[in-house]
Structure 1
Amino acid sequence: MRVDKKLILATLSLLLAGSAAASADPALDARIAELQSGWAHVKYEVKGEEAQLSGMEALAAQAKTLVTSYPGKAEPLVWEAIILSSEAGIKGGMGALSLVKEARTRLESAEKIDATVLDGSVNTSLGSLYYQVPGFPIGFGSDKKAKAYLEKALAQNPDGIDPNYFYGDFLFRQGDYAKARDVLNHALAAAPRPGREVADAGRREEIKAVLAQVETKLAKR
């Protein structure tokens, strides 16, 4: 079965980059910060799909090594999932589906270890997957699960740029334009994340793009 790249994860490569909340291990924190910085650079600064895909594949290998080096830690699993999902968004097709299934597995493993890690990134990432991946029989997408995970993420990090962005985008896709506008504007008002300037700037542009679509829909009512 052919799977349209636009149907699968047109925006899945926008999967969040969770804030670098400090753990009890400075060495792990440094490695996570390196992955965050690399992800933001490839996602927002590298031009061209081929170069982006190569960059994400290299980051995925680094993340996999980190998971092996820190068994039982949730942070590396979350970041491997984020990078795999971003790789899927660039690649598209059936190969993308296998990557997002791997990403979901990593996130579910992280959820069992610590669902609160990285300011709710586990729930935000799972919610993002569930509303952006096609549903049965092609994929595992589920709006019901997406809503539940995204609401958990907002309860953990109510003022975060990422959970508000993804929840706002979800609401937009559900046709709840007025609420989507409120949530997306709240995302724009999020405080800057130290060391995450590139990711924050890229995310704000994404928020503005969805807001423009929301305003167009509201204007037609």
Structure 2
Amino acid sequence: MKSTFIALGASVALFFCAKSHAALADDIALLQQSWAKVNYELKDDAQEKAFKALIKDSQKVVTSYPDDAESHIWHGIIQSSYAGAKGGLGALGLAKQAKVEFEQAIAIDREALSGSALTSLGTLYSQVPGWPIGFGDDSKARELFEQSLAINPYGLDINYFYAQFLYDEREYSTALLHLQRAQAAPKRPGRENADLYRQAEVIELLALVEKKLKRKK
């Protein structure tokens, strides 16, 4: 009889765990879709207002699922995207907050969402000003990008952002390789809009890289 109750308790725990994971997946999917619209389709005051609201939504997801890396990843992505749209010194505070979220996600599960926390943190290190203004560090950025590539070598985002970093470092041939990988990246179910806009960014960066390579010949 005791073993029956133990088995029943384990089944109930698994049920609620699965239910919780499904709810988290739904919340993350909603954040992903909202982010794509705000980040790519809105501008100026409308975008700023929407990002502020979206940050509140992502904070609620973190509060509901504090031990899940995915919630921290998307809260950080939204914060860092808002920082990029905002620009200037006023964006540094948002970037620092996003850094904390990505670091928490990595501590929980560095491979969550195909290493997205590593990619996003690497992007922050590559784009934020260095000391004494900010925490930017190209060496750290490269290390994080390479760690993310080891997890997801043919992913769209990691290859695009690493190519962007390599372009800034004037490593055009290697940037070209990663842009080609980005173009061939598998489509992500439920993220069709994000993929469409990201591939447009890939094409734009590819044109710049090819222009630089032609000049070197």
Normalising by structure 1, we get a TM-score of 0.87
Corresponding residue pairs, total: 199
The question of 1:31 aligning with 2:13 is answered: no
- Normalized per residue, the structure richer in helix is 2
How far did 1:23 drift?
10
Residue of structure 1 equivalent to 2:113: 118
- Quote the Cα distance in structure 1 between the aligned partners of 2:160 and 2:75: 21
- Which whole-Å deviations, capped at 9, do the CAs of 1:14-44 have from their partners, x for residues lacking one? xxxxxxxx99710000000000000001112
Amino acid at match of 2:140: K
Residue of structure 1 equivalent to 2:173: 178
Residue of structure 2 equivalent to 1:15: none
Amino acid at match of 1:154: L
- Quote the Cα distance in structure 2 between the aligned partners of 1:30 and 1:186: 29
Tell me if structure 2 keeps the 8 A contact 1:23–1:29.
no
Tell me if structure 1 keeps the 8 A contact 2:73–2:102.
yes
Residue of structure 2 equivalent to 1:57: 52
- Quote the Cα distance in structure 2 between the aligned partners of 1:74 and 1:52: 26
- Quote the Cα distance in structure 2 between the aligned partners of 1:32 and 1:146: 26
- Which whole-Å deviations, capped at 9, do the CAs of 1:38-66 have from their partners, x for residues lacking one? 000111222x2111111111110001011
- Quote the Cα distance in structure 2 between the aligned partners of 1:83 and 1:56: 7
Matched residues, percent identical?
49
- Quote the Cα distance in structure 2 between the aligned partners of 1:28 and 1:49: 30
Amino acid at match of 1:32: I
Q: Secondary structure at the match of 1:147?
A: helix
Tell me if structure 2 keeps the 8 A contact 1:88–1:100.
yes
Residue of structure 2 equivalent to 1:71: 66
Regions of 4+ moved over 6 Å: none
- Quote the Cα distance in structure 1 between the aligned partners of 2:201 and 2:132: 29
Residue of structure 1 equivalent to 2:38: 42
Residue of structure 2 equivalent to 1:197: 192
- Quote the Cα distance in structure 1 between the aligned partners of 2:132 and 2:154: 35
Structure 2 gaps, min length 5: 1-17
How far did 1:144 drift?
0.4
Amino acid at match of 2:107: K
How far did 1:111 drift?
1.1
Q: Secondary structure at the match of 1:135?
A: coil
Distance 1:183 1:52, change over 3 A: same
CA RMSD of aligned residues (A): 1.4
Tell me if structure 1 keeps the 8 A contact 2:159–2:178.
yes
